[in-house]
Amino acid sequence: MKLSLNIMAVVASLTMVCTAQSSLIPRDSSASLLAAAQASYPTCSLKCMAQAIPTSGCDATDIICLCTNAELQESITLCAMQSCTIFELLTTKNVTQTMCSAPVRDRRKDGEYIGVIGGCVALLAFFGRLLATALKVRQWGMDDWSMCVVVALATPPTVFSVILANNGLGKDMWTLTADEITNVLFYYLLGECFYLAAMAMTKVTFCLLFLRVFREKPFIYYVWGTLGLSVAYGISFVIATIFQCWPISYGWNQWDGLHTGTCNNINLQGWLSSILNIVLDIIVIGLPLNKLSKLVMSPTKKITIMFMFSLGLFVTAISIIRLHALIEFANTTNITWDYSPAGYWSTLEMHVGIFCGCLPALRPLLNMIMPKLQTTAAVSTQRTAGTTGKRSFMSSKASAPKKTENNDFIPLDDVDASSTKFLTSSHCNAV
């Protein structure tokens, strides 16, 4: 019921908007605007206007006075909130905004473009991961199965970004139909469930990757513990989101004030989910860095590998930005406008998670491609500088990935296996 009460309060802001835009109203169009408004206003609003206008000092045909008289607007608002339904109140505001030439806000394309473009980039990274396996430069593992689940979970919210935009997410809710508002809330809730599951599985994917790279105890116990926490996080918050209102349908029907039901503190639930998500992100990112810093390899290569594993910080950064967007959730009176930023940041967070999760698996593919490019460059150089070209050619061949009997681990090149306790020579082959 709180959401419907908040939406009723949206009409209270009508006076300020209309006052600010009154100078934009052409005087010669007043008659046509008034005629259109009279035909569109709900009956309950027209009755309130019929009572308030005669005592306001405004002529019934003076549209500028009607739009700028604060006392008149307040009187009509109080009357309408007593006699109109929520959707009739929204219709009243929409008609008044149009009559008073207020601008129409629309940021639907933000969510749609971010969803589609981000989804395409994430899919390219995932297909590159599959290509690396098909070319046998890496071996299929449990982290690959987990990433398949992540991509499957991220697909519906990506599609929903287009559906939500088409239904009006990113526009003021008083410009939408009742069905559009309901559809936005339905797909938004459904997308949130997929988002929570996808983010949990992204963390599981990284943990399974670490288990392929490192075998030292007690490190693997820490990884399994983090994996368990991630699974528990996903299951608990998906269930909490599904049953955040009872009956479940009340989650997308409560806005109109015509349905009965109860909801838990959705705002608090959203904050807890986001904060725990960030904490788990930091734990997952921090797990391998100490191990990677101890690897015996060239500084450049060590920095490159550590940077690759640290790219998850981008996901954390987006989580923090999304957390800021949740501030508007608390007492929103304009759900289809205020929910838009949190929606597209959530979608982008999933896509960045997929991209970062696929980068370590793409490294063997790049190692295979780069020596060939280096060889081509070396042959060209050899024609003008024989000895230099020869060294470049031999160096490029030496850096190519080597196949061994056991291809279970990520290539961490130049590692002196005898000097590390947690990596054996077989651990340094292609995934």
Tokens 């790279």 -> residue = 213
Alpha-carbon gap, residue 51 to 82, rounded angstroms:
14
Instruction: Dig out the tokens for 21 from the structure.
Output: 């835009």
For residue 263, what is the DSSP state?
A: E
Give the dihedral of Cα atoms 55, 58, 61, 63; nearest 10 deg. Answer: -130
**Cα–Cα distances in Å, from 186 out to 5, 127, 240, 346, 404?**
19, 31, 16, 16, 52
Q: Which of 272, 107, 111, 105 is nearest to 188 (CA)?
A: 111
Alpha-carbon gap, residue 56 to 374, rounded angstroms:
82
62 annotated as a binding-site residue: yes
Q: Which of 115, 105, 112 is nearest to 167 (CA)?
A: 112
Tokens 């920095």 -> residue = 303
Alpha-carbon gap, residue 229 to 226, rounded angstroms:
5
Contact call for residues 192 and 242 (beta carbons, < 8 A): no
Known binding residues are 62
Known binding residues for heme are 62
